[in-house]
């Protein structure tokens, strides 16, 4: 018999599974759909009553260009928007800042002020769509700009539905778009929890992300362990700020990857729900069932896409999307087949959405809840991953907390080691990547990528100069002074921040002021 294949999390995958491989007390481990421990999904009917929210991640160049793409996606049938911001916006810099040179509008849309946000959502009914914004360090700033635009259109905060990623801890681990040290960053997260509970009650205040860790090389077990450990840190920060667990936990959400290893991915999602439910109930005393539900968005694995034979990515994305659906995701973004080369073309983005629509409307996936329940292999894998995740979380908390482990470099080091092993396996041909290390072709077909207009930076700079000349400079200065006082004290900073943005302070000015008060974080810093 051949040697057992190893899962991405490291445990062996058996050639045959039987009832003997099922974990003990399976009925209590499973529960009913929509009931603790939520292994079978967070809602009783799941997709039998309505499918998951179909999102497409989009944003490039100017707000006007991105707005046109959003209208195209909505016309094609997408149910929610997912906004990509350019690197300067993610780092809290204006487009005319010297450090932003060469990056404006490249990996997402440039948003410098309320004027850009108005253009980004022009003609889109914000009370009818769900909007997800992939923004972290300045997440509260972009949320407030969104709320201000909604108010200009006669909508209250209670009419808005969406998510800001707002997950700063994973930035220190895997991505790097942090601004402030962890302590004030966590304060800003807690302030956002409190603000949204009162002002934007249906908004998901954080999307605690394992996706970026997976893209950096984390295994499925590492992805879940380090994400849930960060979730524990956010819960602790909110409790320390005086919030009750059932006041904010129902609005917590998560963001995971879906890989091509379908069985392990399904088991991963099931294990994550079980662990989070137990943590919230047993460790934090949550009473509201919604506090214990691990609701999550999934994106198919960008890191598994290849520039070689890019059309093969259509197949990969379909398998990955299937894994997310079988795993019980609440919303899904399917990557475009050309994303390993450049920003998606309109046709590629539409094909990615059509992939979800085929899964939802042409298959029988939505006819029954949790079709893998009781599967010998999936239940055994769920138990394996759960054990591995619990062990890794214990190792995180052996440092004291997730932040202490980040400071020690634990999560980053573990992910880097996994990424190195994975790369070695691909180089040695032990792990097959179709078109890359097996089944190659001699010549690639020509492909014309989407190109970003190189004049965007100059255009944005001109818009900023005009805004600063036309706005009431005194009103901006007074509003920023109020924000400074709040940041130096202990009041919620989102209220004066909103007034500064209403007065047309820029994203860079708001974040720059907070840099002055709170400082910036460098990996060598201690706090």
Per-residue pLDDT of 144-158, as tens digits, reads 999 999 999 999 999
Report the DSSP pairing between strands 5-6 and 12-13: antiparallel
Q: Are 162 and 331 in contact (CB under 8 A)?
A: no
- The confidence score (pLDDT) of residue 526 equals 46
> pTM above 0.85?
yes
CA distance 408 to 448: 44
pLDDT over 70, % of the chain: 97
- The confidence score (pLDDT) of residue 348 equals 92
Q: What is the distance, to the nearest Å, from the Cα of residue 481 to the centroid of all Cα atoms in its chain? A: 33
CA distance 154 to 126: 10
The H or E element containing residue 116 is: helix 114-120
Helices and strands (DSSP H and E) totals, the chain: 21, 10
CA distance 328 to 48: 12
CA distance 512 to 92: 7
The tokens of 496 are what?
């004066």
- The confidence score (pLDDT) of residue 342 equals 80
Give mean pLDDT, residues 428-436. 92
- The confidence score (pLDDT) of residue 57 equals 72
Which among 258, 399, 276 is positioned nearest to 332, based on CA atoms? 258
What's the Rg (C-alpha) of the chain? 23
Which among 223, 234, 114, 184 is positioned nearest to 502, based on CA atoms? 114
**What confidence category does residue 393 fall into, taking pLDDT thresholds of 50, 70 and 90?**
very high
- The confidence score (pLDDT) of residue 449 equals 67
CA distance 482 to 495: 9
- The confidence score (pLDDT) of residue 79 equals 80
Report the DSSP pairing between strands 130-134 and 80-84: parallel
- The confidence score (pLDDT) of residue 524 equals 61
Give mean pLDDT, residues 6-32. 96
Q: At what angle do helices 312-326 and 346-361 cross, to 10 degrees?
A: 40
The tokens of 479 are what?
């509003």
**What confidence category does residue 527 fall into, taking pLDDT thresholds of 50, 70 and 90?**
very low
**What confidence category does residue 347 fall into, taking pLDDT thresholds of 50, 70 and 90?**
very high
Give mean pLDDT, residues 177-186. 95
**What confidence category does residue 444 fall into, taking pLDDT thresholds of 50, 70 and 90?**
confident
- Output phi, psi for 451, to 5 deg: -115, 135
What pLDDT digit, counting tens, does each position of 237-259 carry?
Answer: 999 999 999 999 999 999 999 99
Q: What angle do CA 448, 451, 454 make, to 5 degrees?
A: 150
Half-sphere exposure of 457 (CA within 13 A, CB side): 14
DSSP-derived secondary structure for 426-488: HHTTSS--BTTTBS--SSPPP-------TTHHHHHHHHHHHHHHHS-HHHHHHHHHHHHHHHH
The single-letter DSSP state of residue 85 is: B
What pLDDT digit, counting tens, does each position of 51-86 carry?
Answer: 999 987 776 778 999 999 999 989 988 888 989 999
pLDDT over 90, % of the chain: 88
The tokens of 302 are what?
């960008």
- The confidence score (pLDDT) of residue 443 equals 81
What pLDDT digit, counting tens, does each position of 467-504 carry?
Answer: 999 999 999 999 999 999 999 999 999 999 999 999 99
Q: Helices marked H in 156-311 — which ranges?
A: 169-170, 182-199, 211-215, 220-240, 245-248, 262-278, 289-292
- The confidence score (pLDDT) of residue 450 equals 63
**What confidence category does residue 107 fall into, taking pLDDT thresholds of 50, 70 and 90?**
confident
Expressed in percent and rounded to 5, the helix, strand and coil fractions of the chain are: 50, 10, 40
3-state DSSP assignment of residue 62? coil
The tokens of 474 are what?
């005194």
Q: Is the peptide bond before 37 cis (omega within 30 degrees of 0)?
A: yes
* pLDDT of 301 higher than 90: yes
* pLDDT of 184 higher than 90: yes
**What confidence category does residue 442 fall into, taking pLDDT thresholds of 50, 70 and 90?**
confident
The tokens of 277 are what?
């439910």
**What confidence category does residue 523 fall into, taking pLDDT thresholds of 50, 70 and 90?**
confident
* pLDDT of 343 higher than 60: yes
Q: Which residue has the higher pLDDT, 342 or 389?
A: 389
């Amino acid at each position: 018999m051949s040697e057992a294949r190893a899962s991405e999390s490291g445990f062996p995958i058996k050639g045959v599974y039987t009832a003997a491989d099922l974990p003990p007390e399976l009925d209590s481990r499973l529960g009913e759909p929509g009931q603790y421990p939520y292994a079978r999904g967070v809602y009783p009917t799941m997709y039998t009553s309505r499918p998951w929210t179909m999102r497409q991640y989009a944003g490039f160049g100017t707000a006007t260009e991105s707005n046109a793409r959003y209208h195209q996606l909505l016309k094609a049938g997408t149910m929610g928007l997912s906004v990509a911001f350019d690197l300067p916006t993610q780092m809290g810099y204006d487009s005319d800042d010297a450090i932003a040179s060469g990056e404006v509008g490249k990996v997402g849309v440039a948003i410098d002020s309320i004027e850009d946000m108005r253009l980004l959502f022009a003609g889109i009914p914000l009370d009818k769509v769900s909007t997800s914004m992939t923004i972290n360090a300045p997440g509260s700033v972009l949320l407030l700009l969104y709320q201000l635009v909604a108010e200009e259109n006669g909508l209250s905060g209670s009419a808005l539905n969406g998510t800001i990623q707002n997950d700063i801890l994973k930035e220190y681990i895997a991505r790097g778009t942090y601004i402030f040290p962890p302590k004030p960053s966590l304060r800003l997260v807690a302030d956002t929890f409190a603000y949204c509970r009162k002002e934007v009650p249906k908004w998901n205040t954080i999307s605690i992300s394992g996706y970026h860790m997976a893209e950096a090389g984390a295994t499925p077990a590492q992805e879940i362990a380090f994400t849930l450990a960060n979730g524990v840190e956010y819960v602790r920060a909110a409790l320390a700020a005086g919030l009750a667990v059932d006041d904010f936990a129902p609005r917590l959400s998560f963001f995971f990857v879906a890989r091509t290893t379908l069985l392990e991915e399904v088991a991963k999602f099931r294990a994550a729900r079980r662990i989070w439910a137990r943590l919230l109930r047993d460790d934090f005393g949550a009473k509201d069932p919604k506090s214990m539900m691990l609701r999550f968005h999934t994106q198919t694995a960008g890191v598994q896409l290849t520039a070689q034979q890019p059309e093969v990515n259509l197949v990969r994305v379909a398998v990955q999307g299937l894994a997310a659906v079988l795993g019980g995701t609440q919303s899904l973004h399917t990557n475009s087949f050309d994303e390993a080369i450049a920003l998606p073309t309109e046709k590629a983005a539409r094909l990615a959405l059509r992939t979800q629509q085929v899964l939802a409307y042409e298959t029988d996936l939505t006819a029954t809840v949790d079709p893998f329940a009781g599967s010998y292999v999936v239940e055994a894998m769920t138990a394996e991953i759960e054990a591995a995740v619990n062990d890794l979380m214990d190792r995180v908390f052996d440092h004291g907390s997730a932040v202490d482990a980040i400071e020690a470099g634990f999560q980053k080091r573990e992910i880097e080691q996994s990424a190195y092993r994975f790369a070695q396996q691909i180089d040695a041909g032990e792990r097959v990547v179709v078109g890359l290390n097996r089944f190659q072709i001699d010549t690639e077909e020509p492909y014309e990528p989407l190109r970003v207009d190189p004049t965007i930076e100059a255009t944005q700079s001109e818009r900023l100069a005009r805004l600063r000349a036309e706005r009431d400079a005194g009103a901006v200065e007074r509003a920023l002074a109020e924000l400074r006082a709040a940041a130096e004290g202990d009041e919620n900073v989102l209220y004066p921040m909103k007034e500064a943005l209403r007065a047309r302070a820029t994203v860079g000015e708001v974040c720059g002021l907070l840099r002055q008060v709170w400082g910036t974080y460098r990996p060598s810093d201690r706090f």
